[in-house]
Structure 1
C-alpha cells in the first residue's frame, strides 16, 4: 500500500476471488487513504456464476462490508458486452449469456431483456447501499468494454461507462461511442488502459501477454485517456509497473512511464474540461444493436433472422465515411474483424 501511495494512486481496482475473504485487503487499502473498486473478472472466468448466466456478482455481504469502510467507489463489471454476445468465452457447459438468454426474441426485445436485467442489478446494489443510511454514499456499477458497443444499453440501465483502450477496437470509435453514452445518460466516464495484449518486445514481462504493449504505447494510451477528461483513469495489470529484487521493489520501464505521467505530465497539462462538457460537431443517431462486425448473436441471441441483422451494418459505413475512407473499415469496428473483411491500408 505504501508503494501505491508513492505511485500517487487515488484508487485501486481489486478483483474479488470468490470464496476468499478480502476484508483485510480492503481495510489496508482504506487505511492507506486509497479508494477501492471491486471487480468481478476472476469470477466471470472461473465461477460461481449467477444461475442461467456466465456472470459473477460480488456477494451482498462483501459489498456492504467494503461500503462500510467509506471508500468503496464502484463495482467493475469486466467486458459484460463481450460476455453477452460471446457467452461461450469462459463457461463451457452451455449457452449462458451474461445478462440472460435472449434466444427466440426479436432485436428490440433482446435489447430490452438485457437492459431490464442490468437495471435489476443496479437497483439491487442501490438498495443495499441505501440500507447503510450513509448520506452521499454511492456505489455505481461500471461497465468495462472491450468492444465499442452496448454502451448506451448499459448506461440507460444505470451503469457508468468504462471503455478499454489498447485493445482490439479502433480507439477513436471506442472513446467517442462511450462518450456519447455517458453524455446522453449523464453517467461517469471511466477509462481503462489495459496492458494485457498480443505484442512482444524487449520490455519487461511477467509472462507472454503481460504486458503485451510497449512502454511507448502505454505512455500514449495514458495521455489519450487523460485528455478525454474522464472521471477515473486506471491501469489494468499494474503488477508490471514494479519488479521485486533482493533490495526491494524497483520500478520497471512501465513504472517509469507511470511515474512521469502522474508526477510531470499531469501537473504540466492541467485539464480545463470534463467529459460531460463534450459538445459534438457530428452526432450519429443509431439504435444500439451490439454488432461489432461479427454479424451474429446480437445481444447474445442465436435465433435472429438475417433481416434482423442486416440493417445494423449501415453504421459501419458511417464510421468509414467519417474517417475519410482511410482509417475505419466498412464492415467492422474492431481491428481483428476488419482484417477479415477488408485491407484498410
Structure 2
C-alpha cells in the first residue's frame, strides 16, 4: 500500500503546482535559517542557546532546515583566560553534540562586532580589533581550531560588513574608523586595493582551518571585492533592494572570480525600513522559489526566531532579561499583525507553532525543493546585457540619510561617474528602479515606495573593471550590449571590449572611459551622445545613459515589462509578474511555480509606518 501524502505535501501541490513530471536529477540548494535567537537567548526565563530546548530543536526539524546561520553561539569573554577557555569549550561541545545528532551544517555569524566596541577573550586584547585601524570579529585561533572540528562546521559569516565599512555616521558603529581597513584618507583605487588585500588576509586566516568566509551584503555593492578575495557572496534580497540588482552583482562576481574560490548564496531577509517582518507572506514565498531557480549553493531566510518587540535592542547584551510575556509588537507588515515572531512562535521551551511565514518556509524546504531539481547552477549564467564598472560602493548614498563615504573614504564622495549606473538600471527595469539610487533607502523611495518583490529586467550580469585581466578572452557570457561605467577600467578590459565590438557587440560607454580616438570624436562633436560603427558592432559614447540613442539601442534587448528574465546555459528562466509580490516561474516554457490564487495582505505607507492597503 502506498503511503497517504501528508497534508503539507498536498498543500504544496496547491501552493507550488508543477507542470509535467518533476525532473529526476540536477542541483538542489541547501536551505537554512538565520537564528537571531531573541526568544531563548534573550528571554530571562531561559537565557540559553536554542539547541538546548526541545521546542527549538523540534521547530528546526519541522521547518526542514538543513543548516544554521547562527547568532546564538558566543565566544566567552569577560573572565580570566582560563575561565574563558573553559566556558567556550563547553559551549562548543554542546553545539557540536547537537550538530552531530541533527546532521545540520553550521555557519557562525559574526555580526556582533558591528555594534559592539570591545570583547576580550584574552584579557587586555580586543577580539574585535585584530589590526590597527580595523574593527571586525576575528575568531581567536584556539577557538577556531575547536569549532573547525565540529560536525557540519562550514563557514563564518561577516554579516553586513560592507555596511559598517562604507556607512559613516552610523549610530551603532562601534569605532571611529571603517570596519575592514582604514580607508578614510584614501582615493577610490587605493581603498579598493586595500580592501582586497585585507579580505585575502582574512580568507587565508580561516581557510587554513577549512572554514569559508562569507560576506552577507545589505547594499547591492562590493560583491566583486569579496569574490576577488575568494569569499562566498550572499546578497540580501527582499530587505530594501530592487531584486535584479544584487542578483546581477552576485552572479557576475561569482563568474568573474570563480577561479579565486568564490561561491554564491542567497539571503531573503524579512526586514524592511525598520519593519519586521516588513514583507508579505507572498513576497517571502516568491523570494524562496526565485532563489531556488537561480541555482545558488545555499539559501537562508532571515530570521527564524527573532521577536519584534517595540523598543527592543539588537545588541544581545542590552537585550537580555526581556520578559516576552509583556512585549508590544514593533512596526511590521500587515501580514504579520498580531504575531511579533518570525517563522516560529514559541509558547515555552516545549511548545511552538509555525507562523504564516514559517509555513511558507516549511512547504518550500520539505516539499517544493526536493521535487524541483535545477538543471544548472549559478555558474552557468549568461546574459543579454553586461555592465562593467569600477567597484566604488556607490548605491545612492548622496540621496539618503547615510554617510556619503565611498569605500569608507572621507575624501571620496558620490559623483555623476559613480552614480551613472543607476540610469542603466532605470532603463533595464522599464523605469521601476529610480534614477537616483539602487536601494529603498534613497529619499525618493523611503516612506514612498511600498515593498515589492518583482522588478522587470532582461538577463543582466555585472563585472568589475578587471574582467579583461581575469579573463582575456571573455565573451561577456553572450552579452549583446556592454555598458562601461564608473571611474575607470583596466587597459586589458578596454581592449577586450574593443575586440567584442568588432565582432558585433554594442558598447555603451561614458565618454571618459572610451578609447582615445572615440574620446576625441566625442569632444569634437559637442553632442550628448555619439554613435560610431566599428567592425560588425558599434559604440555609443555618452555623458549618461538616459539619452535617446541609448534608449533606442537598448529597446530590442528588453523583455516585456512583466518579466524578469535569466539565461543559464541553454535554459531560459522567466519570472512572470502577477501583482509585484506574487510571481509565476517558467523554465524552458514549462510553468514551475504558480502562487495561491488568493493574495496575502498588501501594505502602503502612512507616514513612516506600513499599514494595510485596502
Shared fold per TM-score greater than 0.5? yes
Structure 1 residue aligned with 2:373 = 270
Structure 2 residue aligned with 1:72 = 153
Structure 2 residue aligned with 1:242 = 344
Q: What is the CA–CA distance in structure 1 between the aligned matches of 2:396 and 2:206, rounded to whole Å?
A: 33
What per-residue deviation string (whole Å, max 9, x for no partner) do you get for residues 217-241 of structure 1?
2111111211111100011210122
State which of 92, 98, 102 in structure 1 corresponds to 2:183.
102
Residue 58 of structure 1 aligns to a residue whose secondary structure is coil
Structure 1 residue aligned with 2:529 = none
Displacement of 1:245: 3.2
Q: Within the alignment, does 1:164 sit opposite 2:221 as a pair?
A: no
What per-residue deviation string (whole Å, max 9, x for no partner) do you get for residues 13-41 of structure 1?
11243436331124312331111001111
Pick 1 or 2: higher relative contact order, CA cutoff 8 A, min separation 6.
Answer: 2
Q: What is the CA–CA distance in structure 2 between the aligned matches of 1:109 and 1:214, rounded to whole Å?
A: 42
Determine if contact 1:30/1:36 at 8 Å carries over to the other structure: no
Kindly tell me: are residues 161 and 321 of structure 1, through their superposed partners in 2, closer, same or farther at Cα, counting changes over 3 Å? Answer: same
Q: What is the CA–CA distance in structure 1 between the aligned matches of 2:360 and 2:111, rounded to whole Å?
A: 26
What per-residue deviation string (whole Å, max 9, x for no partner) do you get for residues 28-59 of structure 1?
12331111001111232224321533322232
What per-residue deviation string (whole Å, max 9, x for no partner) do you get for residues 137-170 of structure 1?
x321110001110000111012110001111111
Structure 2 residue aligned with 1:311 = 417
Q: Within the alignment, does 1:229 sit opposite 2:295 as a pair?
A: yes
Residue 444 of structure 2 aligns to a residue whose secondary structure is helix
Equivalent positions of 1:196-215 (< 5 A) are: 196-198=271-273, 209-215=275-281
Kindly tell me: are residues 100 and 160 of structure 1, through their superposed partners in 2, closer, same or farther at Cα, counting changes over 3 Å? Answer: same
Q: C-alpha root-mean-square deviation of aligned residues, in Å?
A: 2.3
State which of 113, 116, 119 in structure 1 corresponds to 2:194.
113
Displacement of 1:3: 3.4
State which of 330, 335, 338 in structure 1 corresponds to 2:435.
330
Q: Within the alignment, does 1:191 sit opposite 2:266 as a pair?
A: yes
Residue 103 of structure 1 aligns to a residue whose secondary structure is coil
Determine if contact 2:393/2:406 at 8 Å carries over to the other structure: yes
Q: What is the CA–CA distance in structure 1 between the aligned matches of 2:167 and 2:285, rounded to whole Å?
A: 31
Determine if contact 1:195/1:212 at 8 Å carries over to the other structure: yes
Determine if contact 1:161/1:189 at 8 Å carries over to the other structure: yes
Q: Within the alignment, does 1:255 sit opposite 2:358 as a pair?
A: yes
Structure 1 residue aligned with 2:286 = 220
Q: What is the CA–CA distance in structure 2 between the aligned matches of 1:166 and 1:331, rounded to whole Å?
A: 19
Moved more, 54-63 or 312-321: 54-63
Structure 2 residue aligned with 1:17 = 74
Kindly tell me: are residues 90 and 74 of structure 1, through their superposed partners in 2, closer, same or farther at Cα, counting changes over 3 Å? Answer: farther
Kindly tell me: are residues 56 and 39 of structure 1, through their superposed partners in 2, closer, same or farther at Cα, counting changes over 3 Å? Answer: same
Structure 2 residue aligned with 1:135 = none
Q: Within the alignment, does 1:141 sit opposite 2:247 as a pair?
A: no
Determine if contact 2:168/2:405 at 8 Å carries over to the other structure: no
Determine if contact 2:240/2:273 at 8 Å carries over to the other structure: no
State which of 97, 106, 116 in structure 2 corresponds to 1:36.
106
Determine if contact 2:273/2:441 at 8 Å carries over to the other structure: no
Displacement of 1:344: 8.6
Unaligned runs of 5+ in 1: 130-137, 200-208
Determine if contact 1:149/1:291 at 8 Å carries over to the other structure: yes
Determine if contact 1:88/1:96 at 8 Å carries over to the other structure: no
Larger proportion of strand:
2
Moved more, 60-69 or 223-232: 60-69
Residue 246 of structure 2 aligns to a residue whose secondary structure is helix
Displacement of 1:182: 0.9
Deviating above 4 A after TM superposition, structure 1's stretches of 4 or more consecutive aligned residues are 90-94
What per-residue deviation string (whole Å, max 9, x for no partner) do you get for residues 294-329 of structure 1?
1421100011267xx4321221121122223x2122
Q: What is the CA–CA distance in structure 1 between the aligned matches of 2:286 and 2:392, rounded to whole Å?
A: 31
Q: What is the CA–CA distance in structure 1 between the aligned matches of 2:360 and 2:445, rounded to whole Å?
A: 34
Residue 173 of structure 1 aligns to a residue whose secondary structure is helix
Equivalent positions of 1:270-289 (< 5 A) are: 270-289=373-392
Determine if contact 1:329/1:344 at 8 Å carries over to the other structure: no
Determine if contact 2:108/2:156 at 8 Å carries over to the other structure: yes
Displacement of 1:90: 5.2
Residue 263 of structure 2 aligns to a residue whose secondary structure is coil
Q: Tell which structure's C-alpha radius of gyration is larger.
A: 2
Determine if contact 1:163/1:191 at 8 Å carries over to the other structure: yes
Residue 386 of structure 2 aligns to a residue whose secondary structure is coil
Displacement of 1:2: 4.1
Determine if contact 1:75/1:140 at 8 Å carries over to the other structure: yes
Determine if contact 2:234/2:250 at 8 Å carries over to the other structure: yes
Kindly tell me: are residues 281 and 331 of structure 1, through their superposed partners in 2, closer, same or farther at Cα, counting changes over 3 Å? Answer: same
Residue 335 of structure 1 aligns to a residue whose secondary structure is coil
Aligned length: 323
Q: Within the alignment, does 1:339 sit opposite 2:409 as a pair?
A: no
